[in-house]
Amino acid sequence: AAAAAAAAVAARQAEVETELANAMAAGNEAELRRCLAVAQKVHVGREATDQAQAALTQMCEAKDRARAVAEAAAAHEAALVELSALVDGGGVTTTRSKLKSAVRRAESAGVAAVEPLLKRARERLASYASEAKGKEAAAASAVAESTAAAAVAESGQQPKVREQARARWEAKGKVREAEERYWHEAEEVLAARQGQEAEEQQRWQRRQKAAVSAKATVSAKAEAARQSQRALLQQRAEEEEDAQLQAALAASAKEAEERAKREAELGALREVGFSGLSNGDFRRMVLGAPATPGHALAMDPNVPPPLAHVVAPCTEQVFEEGHACVAPGTGERAGRGGRGGRRGRGGRNGR
């Protein structure tokens, strides 16, 4: 497979070399460029590509030379046509500048000096030059004549002319003096105006500084007032907090004192005992309420019971669970109902 591939490549290279040789022999520039591009792709030998490149360069140079010759011939023909139109006057207005430019272009295009058209153009230019010289001489003579006439006239009127010149000079001097006075006064007015503007600027700057300082002072005073008010409010809040704390401490101390007092009284009552009290007497003594709804003893609602402040916190629990009083005549603990403290509804001592 490798040998076959190499043989195919060699055959392709030989084919491209043949195409290069045919293109060089035919002098076909486009075909030669195409074959060179293909030869570079298939890696044709350097000698063949160099020969093809040299042939292509020669073709390009020959083409450029032919183009240059054609352009020169066209320029030569155009120069001759232009000269013919200007010299023969074929509907074209001929001037010295146009003819001179046409002669220069013809010489640049390589028109021979012995060309009849070029000779006639140069003769026309010479005639134009002679006419111009004659006109210049006539103008110079006219200027000289006018100058001489002016000199003669001036010689006859010299005193008057001098007086007029002196008057003109004096008038110009007065005008200069007036202009100097005007500009001097304008400078003085400008200086005064600039001074006033500078003073106004300084006053404005002072007012601005005063306003800024006043604003800063007001801001400082306001900030100081806010700080003092904030400090006063904080002090009042601290004082109120201290007062509340003191009141809470006093209330707590009072409550603790009352609790200790109640505990002491309860301890004293426990030592004495409730053996001689019935349920009704216990409720009447502690709560200030009658033992039964129909009890004859009416308690004053405005007068607290003797021991309500001592055992009030625990009486409800006592009556819910059964207090430790002994029923009279039985020697047993009384309950919520039943005889002998048993739970139930009914019974003489169960209420």
Residue 334, Cα to own-chain centre: how many angstroms? 95
110: containing domain: 2-126
45, two tokens: 């030998």
**Would 151 be classed as within a structural domain?**
no
**Would 101 be classed as within a structural domain?**
yes
Total of domains in the chain: 2
Contacts 24+ apart (CB under 8 A), 306-314: 307/265, 307/269, 309/258, 309/262, 310/262, 310/265, 310/266, 310/269, 310/286, 311/262, 311/266, 311/269, 311/286, 312/286, 312/287, 313/262
pLDDT value at residue 154? 63
**Would 226 be classed as within a structural domain?**
no
Distance CA 162, CA 169 (A): 10
Of 126, 150, 171, the one marking the end of a domain is: 126
Of 126, 160, 184, the one marking the end of a domain is: 126
Distance CA 15, CA 47 (A): 15
Half-sphere exposure of 3 (CA within 13 A, CB side): 0
Handedness of CA 99, 104, 109, 112 (dihedral sign): positive
Of 317, 325, 329, 312, residue with least CA distance to 258: 312
pLDDT value at residue 294? 42
pLDDT value at residue 321? 42
Of 126, 146, 162, the one marking the end of a domain is: 126
**Would 201 be classed as within a structural domain?**
no
**Would 312 be classed as within a structural domain?**
yes
**Would 252 be classed as within a structural domain?**
no
Handedness of CA 302, 307, 310, 315 (dihedral sign): negative
**Would 329 be classed as within a structural domain?**
yes
**Would 309 be classed as within a structural domain?**
yes
- Per residue of the chain (351 residues), give pLDDT as tens: 788 877 887 888 788 888 888 888 877 778 888 888 888 787 777 777 888 888 888 888 888 888 888 888 887 777 777 777 777 665 456 676 777 777 777 777 766 655 677 777 777 777 777 777 878 888 888 888 878 777 766 666 667 777 888 888 889 889 999 999 999 999 999 999 999 999 999 999 999 999 999 999 999 999 999 999 999 999 999 999 999 999 999 999 999 999 898 888 777 776 665 545 555 555 555 554 444 444 434 444 554 444 444 444 444 444 444 444 444 444 444 444 444 444 444 444 544
pLDDT value at residue 156? 62
